Structures are given as C-alpha cells and as structure tokens.
Amino acid sequence: MTDILVVGAGPAGLTAALYACRAVKSVLVLEKETFGGQITHSPKVENYPGIAQMSGTQFADWLLEQTLAQGAEVEMETVTAVRREGENFAVETEGETYTAKAVILATGSHHRQLGLPNENDLVGEGVSYCAVCDGAFYQGKRVAVIGGGNTALQEAVLLSETCAHVTLVQNLPVFTGEEKLLEILRGRDNVSFITNTVVSELLGAQALEGIVLDTDGKKSTLTVDGIFVAIGQVPENEPFRDLVPLNEYGYFNVDERCVTGEAGVFVAGDCRQKTVRQITTATADGASAAIAACRYIDALHRGDGGGRQSRRADRGVRSAFHRRGRAGALARRACGRMRRAAGRLRVSGGASGRSGERGRQGYDVPRVRGAAGAGDGRARPHFLHRIV
C-alpha cells in the first residue's frame, strides 16, 4: 500500500511526486515509456524560469534524480485501469495490481504526427511541434506550418514575427481557425497559403532540407529550414474514462485546481483541459495536485473520509506542511507574529510601508532578527519567503 500513486512521469507527474515526498507521503510513480514525457524531444529549452538553457533530456534527468532523492519509487508499467476498493484504489497494470490511498493521473498527451517514415529521426533537426518552444531557433529562416486550425494559425502568427517566410499548408480546401487570425496572417507579406495539400515526404537525412507536397496527386517541393506540425494533440486518458469525465476532445474535464469529482483522484498536466501546455503549466499542475492529494490523505487520517476534498481545494493552494502537527502550529503562530510586525515596522534601506501590505497579502513577510539594528535603535526585519 502506497499513499499516493502517480500515473505518468512527465514534468507534471514527477513534480507531483516530489511535492508529495516533501509532505512525508509514500509515493510510487508508474511510467510506460520515457521519464520526462514530450519535453525529452526538445534539444533546447530556453523559456524555463531560472535556467537560461538546457535540453529537454537534461531537464527530465534532473527532475527524476531530484524526485528519487526525496524518496519516490518508480516503475516501468503500463496502467490499464484504476478502480476504487473501499477507501483505497486498485491500480491495474499489464502485469500487476498496486494499491494506493490516492491517485494522481498525469498521463499527458502527445502531438499528432504526420506519420512519415523519417519524422521521428528529424525531430529537433527541423521538425517541431511547438512554435513557442522552438520558434526562436528559426529567426530569419523559412518555415512551414502544417495544419489549418486555431493552433496552426496561432503558431504561424508567432513565427511570422521573426521568420523570413512562413508557409501554411492545409489539407482541406479552407482554414478552420478563427477568421481574425486569418486576417492577421493575410496582412503580412511574409506569409503564404497552400490548401488541398498534404505533406508526403520529408527531405534530408541529418537535418530537414525541405518537404514534398501532394496536391490532388501533383507533387511539388518546398524548400524550408523547418516545419511546425500543428494537427492536434492526442490525450492518453481513455483507460480512465469511467473514473473521470472527459470533454469532447478526450481531455479530463477538470480545472486548474486539479481536483476531480471522484474523492481521492486528482489530475495534472497536459491530460486535462487547458489553454496553455508548457513545462511551467505542467509543473504547476503537479504541485497543485500533490498538495490536494496530501490534504485528502490527511483528512482520511483524521477520520472525515476526505469528504471535504472540493471545499479544501476551493481555498487555494497552500502548503501541506502547515497542516502537520506541532511544526505546522508553530509555523502558523510565527506567520501571525510576522504579519503583525509587518504592520508596525518599516524596512530600512529605502523600502516603504508597502512591504507590510505585501506581508499581509501572503508574499514576502518581514521577520525580526535581534532586538535592534546596528546602532540606530530600530529593529531591522529581513524577508522570509512564503512556503508553497
């Protein structure tokens, strides 16, 4: 029996495991393919806060090592079903059944591919699925966006701001995205449109050199430095349809609280409905889901059966540590004293009384160290960052 079982070891799942371990919960992570998820396909990541540049594989390795160091266990297993057994859950895989008090589904999604023979070989070498992630690498170059929906049009708008030329390739007679996005693109001289056309071949061995287009059986070649495939994503939620409702696109119908209608089941990352799918949003979901799961288990230990799961989540994400025993009580009392001090003290060095306001809002809270400052008779606070 484990406290929290996490299905999926992408950024959301590993972050959830990390947070749960820090809350002194036993954690098991089950992953069927690759630790790190889709991010491992990105050769460069330059938009993760605090890290100027890294590869997706580096990020996955670091996060996995950090999670294992905190005490999480990981297994390579394909989860086929999750069912409730009393207050616990049975998690079935192809070879074994695991039992847990709470389950976090971080199953992720994958980009729908073109299905061409050398597509996987050219990922990161001219083939990309995310303009936000990789668009900066094609500044001043010629690219093509494959697709005609909102995602494809948004990617084209972004790329047209920095690329020499953007060609939109759509397999249908018309583009299905918003007309306003099309108006923006039509107004840009470095954007062109091709319809009724599919990509039939990717040219290049070590790096992409161009694509072969098929328009009603007529072949042509388009020379480009890169392509951005935007023909949709495929969530991997079907085995859990009976446990958590899915929306019309197959994503878990759950908001940013990551709390489902099934007590003890939580979701995180790209598998849930959302408008932005990035590493940062996935890790944020992982933290939210883990904290909610920890509260649920703590409620079970208190004997209320976790029935207040949704109401607790409505109060926002706060640290699970603040609810644990004598240490939590001491922390709450200390925070109270610091907030009161914030209203009375002025921070030296040019800071204004607004610091007290920030303390009351829950950001940086002044804490008094020592009885007085260096010879001026005033107490000098320093800042203690909120634990989240």
Q: Which of 37, 208, 232, 236 is nearest to 123 (CA)?
A: 208
Coil, helix or strand for 278? coil
DSSP code at position 224:
-
Torsion of CA 139, 184, 213, 147, to 10 degrees: 100
Coil, helix or strand for 363? coil
The residue ranges of DSSP E strands in 246-358, in sequence order, are 265-267
Determine the Cα–Cα distance for residues 219 and 198; give it in Å rounded to an integer. 10
130 part of the active site: yes
Q: Which of 3, 21, 133, 270 is catalytic?
A: 133
The residues near 65 (Cβ < 8 Å, ≥ 6 apart) are: none
Q: Output the DSSP codes for 309-343.
A: HHHHHHT----GGGGSHHHHHHHHHHHHHHHHHHH
Determine the Cα–Cα distance for residues 83 and 103; give it in Å rounded to an integer. 10
Q: Which of 24, 35, 122 is nearest to 319 (CA)?
A: 24
Q: Which of 21, 130, 163, 258 is catalytic?
A: 130
Q: Which of 3, 134, 270, 285 is catalytic?
A: 134
134 part of the active site: yes
Catalytic positions are: 130, 133-134
